[in-house]
Structure 1
Amino acid sequence: MMEEALIALLLSDADLIEIVDGKVRPGRASQTDLAPFVVVQVIDKNRSYTMKGHSGLVRSRVQIDAYADTYAQAKEVSRIIEARLNGYKDTAFKAVFLEDHRDLPAADAGTVTTKFRSSLDITVHYGEPQ
């Protein structure tokens, strides 16, 4: 549920949509997706517990990767995402914070690619049914 809400939040940003044309994907991009596009994946999910069980609070680390044909465009997309999410809160999200921002090759070591990737790690605090 958090993942879908986070993707919906990104898809509600007009500046982002103008650049990526709605290509914000969970887990991986489609083979037919042309850059630029965004991939969102949960890295970990930590539930808070009390002596009575699950408190209903969750902290998840999410990696958001912006892929593009140029370095400048990958950075532009990641900056739009950072501006949208860092410090964000509403009824679905207690708080969202940027933890890390790095530039990486668009593929694993040894694979040649012409794509650029700018990667964000965010922490999302949210409630979950007990």
Structure 2
Amino acid sequence: MIEAAVIAHLLADAGVEALVEDRVFPVSLPQGARLPSVVVARVDGAPLLADDGPSGLSNPRLQIDCWGSSYASAKALARAVTSSLNAYSGDMAGLDVPHVELEAERDMPREGGSNQSEYRYRVSLDFLVWHTN
């Protein structure tokens, strides 16, 4: 599963790990999670077909949300994630990954409670991750 491979890759990256320790989660941010944190979710993609059938490749779009307690910390985490993944090629947790491409980056509206200490900031990144099936 490519999502698990990307999570393992990010946790093994020194730049990302220095910011989040082990806080890289699948699908959604757990309630009460410490920040900064990363969330990895597949948002679309299916195996690619060639003229004669399955090509053996997929290129799903993964949304990677970088959460921080300040806008600056969310942006710093997004830079670390982008540095780790954009233009990556090679082995990723046993999957052959010939190419990863950043397709979009969005600053999302601030979320949180009634006082500034409860605010959460998010930068959302979309990556196309080419990999063998």
Superposition map of 1:1-130 within 5 A: 1-91=1-91, 92-107=96-111, 114-128=119-133
Give, in angstroms, the shift of residue 53 of structure 1. Answer: 2.2
* Aligned-partner Cα distance in 2 for 1:53–1:6: 27
TM-score normalised over the length of structure 2: 0.87
Give, in angstroms, the shift of residue 3 of structure 1. Answer: 1.0
**Identity of counterpart residues, as a percentage?**
36
User: Gaps spanning 5+ residues in structure 1: where?
Assistant: none
Preserved CA contact (<8 Å) 1:86 1:97: yes
TM-score normalised over the length of structure 1: 0.89
Equivalenced residue count is 126
What is the CA deviation profile of residues 58-115 of structure 1, one whole-angstrom value per residue up to 9, with x for unaligned ones?
A: 01101000111100000000000001111000032110000001100255xxx87610
* Aligned-partner Cα distance in 2 for 1:77–1:96: 18
RMSD: 1.8
Aligned residue for 1:34, secondary structure, equals coil
Runs of 4+ in 1 over 6 A off after TM superposition: none
